[in-house]
Amino acid sequence: MGLCMSEERPLHNRVRAHRLVRGWSQDELAVRAGVSRAGISAIEQGRIVPSAATALALATVFGCRVEDIFSLGDTAAQQPQWAWPPPSDPYRYWQAVVAGNKMLYPVEPASLGVVPHDGVCKDGAVGDQHQDSTVPDRTLVIACCDPAVGLLASALEHTHGIRLIAFQRPSRAALALLAQGLIHVAGVHLAGCSQPSLNVTAARGALRQGFTLLRVARWHEGLVVSPDRRVKSVRAALQAKLRWVGREAGSAVAEILDELLAGRSAPRRHASSHRGVVEAVRCGWADVGVCLRLASEEAGLDFVGIRHEDYDLCYPAEYEGDPRIQALVETVRSSTYRRMLKDLPGYDTEKTGELQRVTASRKHTPGK
């Protein structure tokens, strides 16, 4: 296949990132694409521009579109943009490529622990990056409130070399970020037994386009209560004079609380996560709140079940060919990840890995 010498107009490519995601050497990619190893090396380094035939061959091998690998433009057009403004200056940031756009994300505390930052923004200027230049292409950005998302991050890194950046956000806020093209995946857990289609309904209303729901688990949500209160039922909790801790609007927990506390005063204190609710009860700032069974049992507190919810990962249909999404699906479906998830209290993995593809025409079909 032919190779053309580099022209004046720069061609940005992500060949190396796509190759590394799959764990291939340059030799292996060369054999698959019918190109010499030297040619692959030159393309990755930007020393040559591939012919149309070579570009198509690489796209076929990677299972994506040519534009997912190559893009024309000047340096200014490739400058990263903040997904949302940093809260201070200087500030550490992460970087990722979402829908072909380079995005900067202010570093936030997360259940993943300390994830190495990519650089520091000072005086409004993005400084030197600390990470390899391919890291943004190998970074998957998710917004969710799953306290066990660290297991997914570890599995993705180990099996596919994908870095996962997870932002703590409730379901509807996560969908809003996805609709704006600021993240790759939104975690949604609004669907309970009485409303099994609510995840689909919420995602359709937010995205207005085709999308896929990837089932992670059906988990158990309920009351976390201080043991010295000796509360054994929801009715007992509602009858007692207890201090409740709330959650932010847009979360499934906030909607549960609205139903439970209808006609009563809203909680004075609010937490931003399941573990935040548990911490409020454990430290005595509140007597009761709503959270996942996992978070409650981790802290050794009493738990009173309320309902089971379907927890899905939602991503736009147009991301299907992204190797990071493909790696995500493979990881969630893997026996290793499913075994780890099954060991967690309150996580039912019977349908883990199932796909539900929803079209923009309001019709949906189960994935195979």
Secondary structure element (H or E) that encloses residue 105, with its range: strand 101-106
- Rounded Cα distance between 127 and 355, Å, is 40
Q: 91: which 2 tokens? A: 């500030």
- Rounded Cα distance between 149 and 311, Å, is 12
- Return the closest-CA partner of residue 251 out of 289, 288, 304: 289
More confident residue, 5 or 21: 21
pLDDT of residue 127: 67
- Rounded Cα distance between 140 and 162, Å, is 7
Using DSSP, state whether 83 is helix, strand or coil. Answer: coil
pLDDT of residue 173: 93
Are 150 and 112 a contacting pair, CB within 8 Å?
A: yes
CA of residue 152 relative to chain centroid, distance: 10
Confidence of residue 6 (pLDDT cuts 50, 70, 90): very low
For 34-74, how does the pLDDT look when each residue is reduced to its tens digit (9 = 90+)? 999 889 988 887 788 899 999 999 989 888 888 878 877 54
Architecture of the domain delimited by 3-76: Orthogonal Bundle (1.10)
Residue 76 reports pLDDT greater than 50: no
- Residue whose structure tokens are 């158990």: 220
- Rounded Cα distance between 179 and 205, Å, is 10
Q: 121: which 2 tokens? A: 């923004």
Q: At a CB cut-off of 8 Å and minimum separation 6, what does 90 contact? A: 120, 121, 122, 123
Chain mean pLDDT for the chain: 87
- Residue whose structure tokens are 């650089």: 119
Tell me, yes or no, if the pTM score tops 0.75.
yes
Q: Where are the domains of the chain?
A: 3-76
Are 315 and 185 a contacting pair, CB within 8 Å?
A: yes
For 202-247, how does the pLDDT look when each residue is reduced to its tens digit (9 = 90+)? 999 999 889 999 999 999 999 999 888 889 999 999 998 899 999 9
Residue type, 345: P
Q: 178: which 2 tokens? A: 């996805």
Confidence of residue 5 (pLDDT cuts 50, 70, 90): very low
pLDDT of residue 128: 62
Are 186 and 313 a contacting pair, CB within 8 Å?
A: yes
- Quickly list DSSP for 80-113: -EESS--SSSSEEEEEEEETTEEEEEE----TT-
365 strand-pairing partners: 357
